[in-house]
Structure 1
Amino acid sequence: MDAWSWSHWGDYVVPLGGALLLGLLVHFGLRLLARRAAQRDSSRARWVRVVTVPMAFALPLLFVSVAVRTVPMPESQLELWIHVLRLALLACVTWLLVRIVGAIESSILRRNPMEVADNLHARRIQTQARVLSRIAMGTIILLGVSLALMTFPAVRQIGTTLLASAGIMGLVAGIAARPVFGNLIAGLQIALAQPIRLDDVVIVEGEWGRIEEISSTYVVVRIWDERRMVVPLSWFIENPFQNWTRSTAQMLGTAFLWLDYRTPMDQVRAELERICHDDPRWDGRVCIAQVTETSEHVMQVRLLVSARDSGEAFDLRCAVRERMIAFLAEHHPQALPRLRAQVERHAEAAGASPTQLPAAGIPSSPRAEDVDDLPGTP
């Protein structure tokens, strides 16, 4: 009896113990290899880290699943163990595929950095890589979960029943999943047509911001005051919006001044050119001063300048506006707008009553012939 028991237990211990021992050796060996690869910064080391970690779990499970088939156990228990190990292997394979997609995305992002002066091409590539990788990861996970569920007989029976009534159920599922599939299709459109890209400057719902993140379902817009606006992907396909960096990051900026008609425009243009040449934010393309509007009191002068991007254009506009006002106030104060008032003198000797005299400190409008009598007039 004892000999039979030891022989019986040996049928379990030898294959399972050998598989577990071999699996542990492989597991720790692969983890050690991954730790050594983490100390290096090369393409080969990064791929080693991506592959070795899931394989450190998948290979021991594979060894155990082979050993279980050689163990003389009841058929029901054998099927249960094989089912569990199969689900674990499927999870490891799904994990490995997701890591591979992430590694490909990271490789593309490293080869196309956005920290350059003209990053239009890099932003286009990074947007496509991020959106398509998110879609690929979601598809892989969805397929993995579906395959795992289909290993259960009850789920397969439900699937067969649903297929028998595919017309009605397909319509119901399509209506229920419309937002999900709408965002998925919108993500593909954005990745291919690219109406927006990462770091694009956009105006969304009246808010100025930059595209900070593009996921498989939504877009994060970083507003200028550090707020975050989360917008569904489908919104950018169905609604109009402004993209200031669609083809280039270069921008034109305007600064409007209301000035007196006596403003010397030649000197204003010369001062604008001096301001632009002294400011490193000016890109050397546009530097124009023009009178764009007139009224009965003042004229509108537009100072048009250019910069490499929208952020520098805004700062350059503010600097041009401030320095031009300072220049005019110091050298041409007559150019600044002022309220002209003509004062009419009423002499009591002319028979004017006190009620007709102007209130103290509030002069009334004079006649044109009286202006020459005012003090200080030439």
Structure 2
Amino acid sequence: MPWLLISLLAAVTATLAVGWIVDQALQRTAARHPAAPVWPLLRRCRIPLQLTVVSALLIAAKPLQRVFHLKRGDGAQHLLLLFLLASLGWLTVRVVAAVLEALLSRYETRIEDPARVQRVHTQISMLRRVVSALIVVVTVAVMLLTFSAMRAIGASLLASAGIIGIVAGIAAQSTLGNFFAGLQIAFGDTVRIGDIVVVDGQQGTVEEITLTYLVVRLWDQRRLIVPVSYFVSRPFENWTRRDPGLLAAVLLHLDHTTPVDELRTALRACLDRHPLWDGTEWALQVTDTTPSTIVVRATMTARTPDDAAQLRFDIREQLIAHLRDEHPHALPRLRTTDG
């Protein structure tokens, strides 16, 4: 009995020691290579690694088998084997996620183009989800194959795999369509995480892309959940696909006596003082007339859609204030005549 207790304590000590040694090795490696982000990320794998080690020791060590009354083919050993397989799957998912996140972090530090960074971010996020799902499926399949009943019906399942595949494909047509649409979005560069899009007349920012749906954060913080198949089968607006900059426009309905040249000068002065104008383009033009007013359009560029919206609001307010203070007759008014 003392030897059995000693063996159990030795297994626990070995498990903790392995976790500590691996963690210390990763810390020292990260200190020697601070530019490589993969080593700090791999420290997240400590718990699944320790679970894998302890379950492997319980299965392999004969003294420990006697402690837990483990015999070949009994339920306890089978349960421990399932636990080992699940731990291995968890460990593999963590390692793959750490490697992919490290690749993304390294890419972000080397590339200054935000459009390319967003594209790679979307692709790596989608790749991580696909690989994780594949690892889970394989792990579950291996765990099921440890049951003798599942091995016995394996031949019949393989024989009818064609029919089952056809039936499953018809039943899951919508799910498979969304899955392949998600891959097409990730690697076709039609929409990326962080893009400003307009879906069914609603503007928002792409917040998350999964294998089956896409999350758009609207201007009022609501979340619009859209199937990914929507973005490969229907038209939508992507304001930041190539360049996040945007042209903002302000329409003013003014009186025919408005001094357009002076208003144009006032617009340039307002833009020079405004921090959101990127200094690329601006214009003020009379685009239309009506029997009672003229339509003046002021255009200006900004770095992002959010900046363009705020710039549009501020310039409209400043131009109206300028006309109210300097040329009140330029504001539209309703004229009436007697007789």
- Shorter chain as denominator, the TM-score bin is 0.7 to 0.9
SS of corresponding position for 2:118: helix
Corresponding residue SS for 1:247: coil
Mapped pair 1:49 → 2:35: no
Shift of 1:140: 0.6
How far apart are residue 56 of structure 1 and its match?
1.3
Greater Cα shift, 39-48 or 323-332? 39-48
Q: Which piece of structure 1 moves more, 137-146 or 215-224? A: 215-224
1:306 corresponding residue in structure 2: 301
Note closer, same or farther for the CA distance 1:167–1:56 as it changes in structure 2 (3 Å cut).
closer
- 1:44–1:165 Cα change, 3 Å: closer
The answer to whether the 8 A contact 2:58-2:65 is kept is no
1:277 to 272, 277, 280: 272
Maintained 8 Å contact 1:123/1:199: yes
1:337 alignment partner, SS class: coil
Q: Show the counterpart of 2:15.
A: 27
Matching residue of 1:148 = 143
Instruction: Report the AA paired with residue 309 of structure 2.
Output: F
RMSD after superposition: 2.8
Out of 99, 102, 122, the position equivalent to 1:104 is 99
Alignment partners' CA distance in 2, 1:70 and 1:32: 22
Amino acid at match of 1:30: V
Alignment of 1:68-147 (within 5 A): 68=62, 77-80=71-74, 82-111=77-106, 119-147=114-142
Q: State the Cα distance separating 1:17 from its structure 2 match.
A: 5.6
Aligned counterpart for 2:244 among listed residues 249, 253, 276: 249
Residue matched to 1:324: 319
Change beyond 3 A, Cα 1:127–1:273: same
Whether the 8 Å contact between 2:38 and 2:98 is mirrored in structure 1 is no
Residue in structure 1 matching 2:287, options 284, 288, 292 = 292
Higher alpha-carbon deviation: 230-239 or 17-26:
17-26
1:187 touches 1:217 (CA, 8 Å); kept in 2? yes
Give the aligned length: 328
CA distance in 1 between counterparts of 2:155 and 2:44 reads 38
Structure 1 stretches of 5 or more lacking a match? 1-9, 345-378
What is the identity percentage for the equivalent residue pairs of Structure 1 and Structure 2?
A: 37
Match of 1:278, as an amino acid? R
- Superposed displacement of residue 120, structure 1: 1.7
1:36-59 per-position Cα deviation (integer Å, ceiling 9, x unaligned): 668988546525513432221222
Q: Which residue pairs with 1:58 in the alignment? A: 52
For residues 178-327 of structure 1, what are the structure 2 equivalents within 5 Å? 178-327=173-322
CA distance in 2, matches of 1:44, 1:200: 27
SS of aligned partner of 1:93: helix
Question: Aligned partners of 1:54 and 1:78: how far apart in 2?
Answer: 25
Distance 1:272 1:71, change over 3 A: closer
TM-score between both structures, scaled by the size of structure 1: 0.78
CA apart distance, 1:239: 1.9
Q: Report the Cα distance in structure 2 between the residues aligned to 1:48 and 1:246, rounded to whole angstroms.
A: 33
Report the Cα offset of residue 323 of structure 1: 0.8
Deviation at 1:218, TM superposition (A): 1.7
Based on CA coordinates, which of the two structures has the bigger radius of gyration?
1
